[in-house]
Amino acid sequence: MTNADGITTPSKHPERIWWIDCLRSFITLLVVAHHSSLAYTTFAHADKRAYILSTAPIVDHQRWVGLDIFENFNDIFFMALMFLIGGLFITKGLQKKGTGSFVRDRFYRLLLPFLVAVSSLMLLAYYPAYHVMHRDGGIRDFLFDFFKVEGWPPGPPWFIWVLFLFNLLLALFSKMGLPLIIEAGKKMQNLKDRPLLLLLLFVSIVWVLYVPLSWILGPYSWGAWGPFAFQKSRLLLYFAFFLMGSIIGSEDLNLGIFSLSARFERKWPLWTGGSLSFYGLLGLIEFKFTHGTGTYGFGTLVDKIIYSSTYCLSMCFSCLAFLTLFRRFVVRPGKIWISLGDNAYLIYLVHYIFVIWCQYGLLSIQAPAVIKFAITFIFSLAASWLVSSQLRRIPVIKKYV
């Protein structure tokens, strides 16, 4: 079935917007691949005081610089894009369900899975990291270390509780906020043929909300209350991306700026080229400022502004590239992509268990880093997908996750 804007949708799933569904699924694949790569980057290091201070729970002696390039590219944009996607259906969800029903639904879909994950799944996931550093430690020692020394690490599910927080804030202030979001959505759609103005607004918002905090707090600083962890310098940035998603989603996602005839959408080659170009430029700037040592040494304020601005441009162009590429080229997904979309959320919740255990099992194997990465990624994705498909046979799980 094809609509007036050229979108073909399988009739069995008329309610799904397939290009968004496939993009969300693809980002989930990137998350699994990202975590699969962390043990094998050249900058990976283990901290014997606590594995939470290491660059990854498992650090292998095999390394490959190609995984640095892949991991760094992901790290710039993909969490921001996930928050944007997470906000796309919020406005219409609030309008349809009302505040009370919406918050109750978000509790069961987001907060409850988060609490289950950090109280059980992450215990299972992090045990190999503990065992590497404490060969003689027992289960009681592991539990003490997990909750007291490591500080109850949430792993990848940290994203879920932050997303719930953003949902809750928008719901609580929906009476005042929704009209503003809807009005902003209408104005944004009116700019569908002014792509450079939209780009300028996008980059300006990102720069203002990220750069000053990254200078003050550090680009990789974390805060936490127990398992409720968050990235300090990016929290406002992520909330802005979430709000941008809610603004975009207040209108028809297949029309406006993402209409196939809109100049904004037709600029997908520019967004894609800019994504690759600014990431490459960022790498050159990093090499200049680190002098190839991996230790940053920004000399002047101008140096910091150049680096931070390039970082923001790389983030923005990458987000726009993936959004417009999937809008342009995803028409009718096959059965595999539909299955991946159905299982993406649970794959995200459980994949870390298989990633860390696989990396642990490969520690003693003599093989190139890229081979170990490929084994970890394929095994973790397949195992997570299988577990998810079986868990979703349970009606209550299928309903919410």
User: What type of residue is 99?
Assistant: T
Q: What is the predicted pLDDT for the residue at 288? A: 78
Q: What is the DSSP letter of 64?
A: -
Q: What is the predicted pLDDT for the residue at 304? A: 86
What region, left, alpha or beta, does residue 369 occupy, with left being phi > 0 and alpha being psi -120 to 50 degrees?
alpha
Is residue 357 very low, low, confident or very high in pLDDT (cuts 50, 70, 90)?
very high
Q: What is the predicted pLDDT for the residue at 298? A: 58
The Cα 312–Cα 159 span in angstroms is 21
Average pLDDT of 226-235?
96
Tell me the percentage of the chain whose pLDDT exceeds 70. 94
The Cα 310–Cα 289 span in angstroms is 13
The Cα 107–Cα 112 span in angstroms is 6
Cα dist from 46 to 23, 54, 57, 170, whole Å: 33, 5, 8, 39
Q: Give buried/exposed letters for 231-255 (b at 16+ CB in 10 A, else e).
A: bbbbbebbbbbbbbbbbbbbbebbe
Q: What is the predicted pLDDT for the residue at 122? A: 97
CB atoms near residue 182 (< 10 Å): 16
Q: What is the predicted pLDDT for the residue at 8? A: 39
Q: What is the predicted pLDDT for the residue at 116? A: 96
Asked if the model's pLDDT at residue 1 lies above 60, the reply is: no
Q: What is the predicted pLDDT for the residue at 313? A: 97
Return the residue matching tokens 């498909």. 389
Q: What is the predicted pLDDT for the residue at 290? A: 65
Angle between helices 158-172 and 90-106 (to 10 degrees): 110
CB atoms near residue 276 (< 10 Å): 14
The pLDDT tens digits for 285-294 are 988 776 544 4
Asked if the model's pLDDT at residue 56 lies above 50, the reply is: yes
Average pLDDT of 347-357?
98
Expressed in angstroms, the distance from the first to the final Cα of the chain is 27
Q: What is the predicted pLDDT for the residue at 257? A: 95
Q: What is the DSSP letter of 233?
A: G
Q: Which two tokens stand for residue 23?
A: 């993009």
The Cα 148–Cα 142 span in angstroms is 10
The Cα 4–Cα 6 span in angstroms is 6
The pLDDT tens digits for 187-226 are 999 999 999 999 999 999 999 999 999 999 988 899 999 9
Q: Which residue has the higher pLDDT, 311 or 7?
A: 311
Average pLDDT of 238-254?
95
Tell me the percentage of the chain whose pLDDT exceeds 90. 85
The pLDDT tens digits for 35-48 are 999 999 999 999 98
The values of phi and psi at residue 3, to 5°, are -90, -175
SS3 152: coil
Asked if the model's pLDDT at residue 61 lies above 60, the reply is: yes
- The alpha carbons of the chain give a radius of gyration, in whole angstroms, of 21
The Cα 287–Cα 289 span in angstroms is 6
* Among 63-67, 249-253, 297-301, 325-329, the least confident range: 297-301
The pLDDT tens digits for 148-175 are 999 999 999 999 999 999 999 999 999 9
Q: What is the predicted pLDDT for the residue at 2? A: 36
Q: Which residue has the higher pLDDT, 256 or 322?
A: 322
Beta carbons within 8 Å of 194's beta carbon, 6+ residues apart = 263, 264
Average pLDDT of 64-81?
96
Q: Which two tokens stand for residue 27?
A: 């980002």
Is residue 300 very low, low, confident or very high in pLDDT (cuts 50, 70, 90)?
confident
Q: What is the predicted pLDDT for the residue at 391? A: 95
CB atoms near residue 372 (< 10 Å): 25
What is the pLDDT of the chain when averaged over all its residues? 92
Q: What is the DSSP letter of 8?
A: B
Q: Which two tokens stand for residue 182?
A: 């809807």
| Burial classification of residue 167, based on how many CB atoms lie within 10 Å of its CB (0-12 exposed, 13-18 middle, 19 or more buried) | buried
Average pLDDT of 104-130?
97
Give the chain's length: 401
The pLDDT tens digits for 365-399 are 999 999 999 999 999 999 999 999 999 999 989 88
